[in-house]
């Protein structure tokens, strides 16, 4: 596992939070993206090497909606960059971690992603993400 790729924050209303974080950071988000398969709308901020992802649910069954129901707004996940997500998934499985999706899926920001169940990581939802090579994009 490599550096922290980004930190994900669950918010109720993306537009309101975009304004809040824009005044916090002194700059606006650089992109928004909807990931329909996850039921989320996201926006990204960059401060130097650090990236923050804001996530808003697009429907009540979205994992983000459920998270906010249970815990309220706040830090939702920490994402780590990996260079070979499949190898990392099998390594972590053999270490006893529960991987929520064993087949990496397409996440926001041109990444292949997989999540580890928080019950095996001290309550922290961990996302693995691997940059999708530009040549593979259609």
Nearest approach, Cβ of 54 to Zn ion (angstroms)? 10
Q: Does 116 bind Zn ion (CB under 5 A)?
A: no
In this chain, which stretch among 7-15, 20-28, 31-39, 88-96 interacts with Zn ion, using CB under 5 A? 7-15
Residue 50, C-beta contacts closer than 8 angstroms, at least 6 positions apart: 4, 6, 7
Q: What is the DSSP string of 54-92?
A: EEEESSTTSHHHHHHHHH-SEEEEEEEE-S-HHHHHHHH
Question: What CA–CA distance (Å, rounded) separates 114 from 103?
Answer: 7
Q: Does 40 bind Zn ion (CB under 5 A)?
A: no
Q: Which two tokens stand for residue 64?
A: 């983000």
Please say whether the beta carbons of 10 and 40 come within 8 A. Answer: no
**Identity of the residue, 79 or 92, whose beta carbon is nearer to Zn ion in the bound complex:** 79
**Identity of the residue, 6 or 86, whose beta carbon is nearer to Zn ion in the bound complex:** 6
Nearest approach, Cβ of 76 to Zn ion (angstroms)? 8
Please say whether the beta carbons of 108 and 53 come within 8 A. Answer: yes
**Identity of the residue, 79 or 85, whose beta carbon is nearer to Zn ion in the bound complex:** 79
* Contact residue for Zn ion among 8, 39, 63, 104 (CB under 5 A): 8
**Identity of the residue, 53 or 88, whose beta carbon is nearer to Zn ion in the bound complex:** 53
Q: Does 79 bind Zn ion (CB under 5 A)?
A: yes
Residues at the contact surface with Zn ion, assessed by CB under 5 A:
8, 53, 79, 127
């Amino acid at each position: 596992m490599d550096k922290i790729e980004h930190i994900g924050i669950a918010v109720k209303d993306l537009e309101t939070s975009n304004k809040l974080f824009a005044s916090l950071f002194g700059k606006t988000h650089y992109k928004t993206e909807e990931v329909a398969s996850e039921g989320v709308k996201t926006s990204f901020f960059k401060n130097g090497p650090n990236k923050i992802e804001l996530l808003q649910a697009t429907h009540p069954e979205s994992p983000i909606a459920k998270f906010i129901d249970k815990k309220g707004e706040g830090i939702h996940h920490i994402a780590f960059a990996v260079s070979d997500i499949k190898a990392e998934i099998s390594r972590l499985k053999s270490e006893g971690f529960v991987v929520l999706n064993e087949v990496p899926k397409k996440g926001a920001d041109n990444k292949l992603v997989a999540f580890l169940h928080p019950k095996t990581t001290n309550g922290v939802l961990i996302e693995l993400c691997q940059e999708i090579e530009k040549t593979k994009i259609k």
